[in-house]
Amino acid sequence: MEGEERRLAASLTARYSEWVLEELDELRGSFLLTDPAMPGHPIVYASRGLAALTGYPRRELLGRNARLFQGAATDRAAVSGVREAVRAQRAHQVAILNYRRDGSPHWVLLHLAPVFHAADGRVLHFLAVQVPIAPASSPRRHPGRPPAFAACREEARGEEELPCASHVGEVFVDIDKRGLEAEEPRIASGCDKEMALSTANSIFSTLNRYSKLTGLVVCERRCDSVGIPALSSSLNLSLGRIKQSFVLTDRHLPDMPIVYASDAFLSLTGYSREEILGCNCRFLNGPGTSAEVLEEINRHICREEACTVHLLNYRKDGSTFRDLLHVSPIRNSSGKVGLHPFQVAFHVWVHLDESAKHDFSGLTPEVWQLGAVGAVRVAVRSLSASGSLLRPSQ
């Protein structure tokens, strides 16, 4: 048993140093970490808050699959959504009915997020934070107290091994149809969502800091710049003169990554340029971002049309801002949505915090944004005609 515990602990200590376990123990909140590369996709860390709120000793949780939190009344659609998020390696929030160790059910807000290797984009761990959802008539828990974690049912305490055909796909996959009667569904409040996101941000900050000691730097978003074309110094210089907050993306590369970010955009979001180059623009989205608006943006991109939308986005520190977003295709000197004969395409995304004060020099916000689009278009077309968009080596 001790050998198994050492193997599970090594999943963290080998990647984040020997001191990361002590640091995680000091964090408030109920959370766990799983390793999708190990057989059965087991839990490799469980917080003290999790043990206190579920009645499970931490040693009983280590090595188990997170499916033991579910029971007969757990909604299958919610489970399916979590499973798909794991397979797609993306963050996910959902209200779900889980079970404590003594078999009692309770509603929680599950916040699931992958932990990425910053260099190559591999998923190293999955983080799961859970916050209890109180009944509509019940007062909220004091904000100073640690958020609760979903608990587990008594039936899951058997000694039998759980099947493990596909490690990644096994997290939160229910196989037990026993349990208690269903409770009335509950809806997570904005406070619940912010609490979950704040707890996750604290954990990611700790993992990132300690991963630098081993050289295996991790991050909460896949930001792999390998294969991203480097823009020429001339284009970078021209784009750097534009004062508005914007990014440039390449539609013909996998996942439409960011290839340029303005200084104003970095100031708006709190990210560094190194953190976002190679990322898809969805890294700004969060639980409050409208899926309908995102779909509208995608439709306009597919049609090579410009669009302006209002969107709730998230800064690096987890705070939100009302984003007036304009997305427009950038066409080269031939009029095509491409930059050179190999059709490396750009879209420009101009962001504006609607709640902040701005000096538009008498212009409307929309015209101010179109000014940025025009400036980017001039820079791209003038350099595409001379073949100076990318570095010579590319």
CATH number of residue 199's parent domain: 3.30.450.20
Do residues 96 and 212 share a domain?
yes
- 168 pLDDT band, cuts 50/70/90, is low
Tens of pLDDT, residues 68-112 = 888 889 999 999 999 888 888 888 999 999 889 999 898 999 999
Position 328 in a domain: yes
Position 308 in a domain: yes
Residue 47 clears pLDDT 50, i.e. is over it: yes
Tens of pLDDT, residues 324-378 = 999 999 887 655 544 444 344 689 999 999 998 888 888 899 999 999 999 999 8
- Model confidence, pTM: 0.54
Task: Over range 209-228, report the average pLDDT.
Answer: 72
Do residues 213 and 291 share a domain?
no
Print the domain residue range for 266: 231-383
Distance CA 349, CA 369 (A): 9
What letter would DSSP give residue 333?
T
In this structure, are residues 78 and 70 in contact, taking their beta carbons and an 8 Å threshold? no
Do residues 201 and 326 share a domain?
no
Do residues 252 and 327 share a domain?
yes
Give the residue from 178, 207, 225 where a domain finishes: 225
Task: Over range 259-273, report the average pLDDT.
Answer: 91
Q: Is 154 exposed, middle or buried (0-12, 13-18, 19+ CB in 10 A)?
A: middle
pLDDT at 268: 96
Q: Of residues 212 and 155, which shows the higher confidence score?
A: 212
Do residues 80 and 217 share a domain?
yes
pLDDT at 255: 75
Distance CA 19, CA 9 (A): 11
Give the residue from 167, 196, 225 where a domain finishes: 225
Distance CA 352, CA 392 (A): 34
Distance CA 23, CA 368 (A): 46
Position 162 in a domain: no
Using CA atoms of 351, 289, 321, 236 in order, give the dihedral in degrees to the nearest 10: -30
Residue whose pair of structure tokens reads 């639980």 in the numeric block: 287
pLDDT at 314: 94
Distance CA 104, CA 99 (A): 6
Distance CA 223, CA 227 (A): 12
One DSSP character per residue, 237-251 reads HHHHT--SEEEEE-T
